[in-house]
Structure 1
Amino acid sequence: MSDTVRVFFISDIVGEPGLALLETIFPSLRDKYDPDFIIANAENSHEGRGLNRHIVKRLYDLEVDAITGGNHSFDKWKIFSYMKTDDHLLRPLNFPKGNAGYGYGIYDIGKTGFKMGVLNLQGRTFMADIDDPFSTSDWALDRIKEETNLIFVDFHAEATAEKMAYAWTVDGEVSAVVGTHTHTPTNDARILPKGTGYITDVGMTGPFDSVIGMDKDTSIRRFTLGTPQRYKIAKNDNRMCGVVVDIDTETGKCTSIEPVIYPEFQNKAD
């Protein structure tokens, strides 16, 4: 059996532009990186807010093994009944008890003989004041560790400090903590001292000719006028943001974490 397993995480898919790009480019990236397990955050995949069963199937057709969510996981009510039946479709565990869906899962990693624990949490700073993600994490990790030490956490949060505080809290307890929600990739991917891979925000998969995936003019009016504006997804400059994490199967510690942005950003003038 392999000494390491490789996880490919796809960040914050935004609407049809993000989905269409993913269906175009991800098969070749999948072949290039040869992941053992694939996770995608899809809470913005249906019209920018929420998701539906058709999108879930499209992601499974791309060989995605688990789907994570965030504050928009419950925006489309038609998905609620399905969320109760599919334990590969996650939403943040620390939403109050009684909400549909699963907050963590333990899955077979292909034919490797190992299992992957995936935990989805949501921060509270500058976001809805839901249940405490830190104590919720303690509860979930106790249960996941009964079956595997390979644990991947999608921490969906606004505040950089909250994501970092969580990662330091679980350093050495989980294999990787990746931040989502801000749609802006950060340049701080690293392995913490006790072996947890970490990045503050992986970014988004969708149109970057935008304000975090939304039409620029609409977003500017929202800020300059201070009033609600129609939610409109942008269309151009589509890119995929992800991260590839290698995990030691014996220790559960991260051995490598590599952000993947395709196409890469241009940082020099022609």
Structure 2
Amino acid sequence: MGDVVGEEAAGWLADRIGQLRDEHELDWIVVNAENGAVTGPNPMDGFGMTVEIVDTLLEAGVDAITGGNHSWDGPDVDKILAYPQMVRPLNLDEERGQGLLTLRGNTTLTVINLLSPTAELPGMAAPKPHPLWPSWQEITAEHDLTGPTVIDLHGESPWEKASFAAALDGQASAVVGTHTHDPTQRGHVLPGGTGYVTELGMTGRLGHTGGGFDPMHFVAKMRGEDYTALPAYTLAKGPLALGAVILDIDPAGATTAITRIA
């Protein structure tokens, strides 16, 4: 499930988790929640997560929570990164938290969170990410990734996400893109069995440009105006929407189908 935008969206999603799990017979539910809370007035630290939002999602039955460039924003960073179900981007120098999580039960799933340098913005608290492909080579050398493995790739560029997925085709079960919030329609099963979705989309209120919030900061930046002087982000006012896909993965770790749900 793609970027949860706002506390209300987190509660709305939490109320649906049980129904979605039963209706679709889901083994594991992974949610990107890095935009779960508006945490400050500055656009460079505007979103993040709070303990309350993380607890809401986990208590509802979410198995793992991923992040991105906002994983280090907000007042509860150290507490949040300490959760065993929290997965922060792996490809950077950071002692807090974990970038890889293996979920074990009747089935097993390894979840990896990666942060593209394209999602890095000046002034953000996130550590500088390392380039994706060298990082992936290091990950495969250090970790046994046999069996189902899903990568949340948090990045700006569709071509970069597609190229990365193609480059590791057959080495991971799926690469799902997050960060740009507007969902891409198609899912792809690559020749080697890796599933790929350019952008999961966001989970939150629709409106404006589809990001879940008023784009006035981005508009001001585009115009060359002082966007840091603007008030805090304002969430959109439209209907609530779910950005999500179901991945069917066989025991050997190959994706067999991708289904978008709303």
Q: How far apart are 1:142 and its partner, in Å?
A: 3.5
Say whether the 8 Å CA contact 1:127–1:158 is kept in structure 2. no
1:232 corresponds in structure 2 to 234
1:252 corresponds in structure 2 to 253
Q: How far apart are 1:26 and its partner, in Å?
A: 3.2
**Structure 1 segment 23-172 matched on structure 2, within 5 A:** 23-47=14-38, 49-83=47-81, 85-98=82-95, 100-108=96-104, 110=105, 112=106, 114-125=107-118, 127-128=120-121, 130-145=129-144, 148-172=146-170
Give deviations 1:29-67, integer Å, cap 9, x for gaps.
222111001100000001261102221111111211111
Distance 1:15 1:218 in 2: 17
| Identity, % of aligned positions | 34
Say whether the 8 Å CA contact 2:119–2:154 is kept in structure 1. no
Distance 2:208 2:16 in 1: 21
User: Which runs of 5 or more residues in structure 1 are unaligned?
Assistant: 1-9, 262-270
2:6 corresponds in structure 1 to 15
RMSD of aligned alpha carbons: 2.0
Q: Which residue identity does 1:102 align to in structure 2?
A: Q
2:125 corresponds in structure 1 to none
Q: Which residue identity does 2:253 align to in structure 1?
A: G
1:243 corresponds in structure 2 to 245
Q: How far apart are 1:23 and its partner, in Å?
A: 2.6
Say whether the 8 Å CA contact 2:18–2:61 is kept in structure 1. no
Distance 1:232 1:153 in 2: 30
Q: How far apart are 1:79 and its partner, in Å?
A: 2.0
Distance 1:82 1:50 in 2: 10
Distance 2:118 2:32 in 1: 20
Q: 1:63 to 1:81 in 2, by over 3 A?
A: closer
Per the normalisation by structure 2, the TM-score is 0.86
Distance 1:210 1:226 in 2: 20
**Structure 1 segment 139-218 matched on structure 2, within 5 A:** 139-145=138-144, 148-211=146-209, 212-215=211-214
Length, aligned pairs only: 245
Distance 1:180 1:36 in 2: 21
Give deviations 1:175-202, integer Å, cap 9, x for gaps.
0100000000012211001100001001
Per the normalisation by structure 1, the TM-score is 0.84
Q: How far apart are 1:81 and its partner, in Å?
A: 4.0
Say whether the 8 Å CA contact 1:188–1:199 is kept in structure 2. yes
1:6 corresponds in structure 2 to none
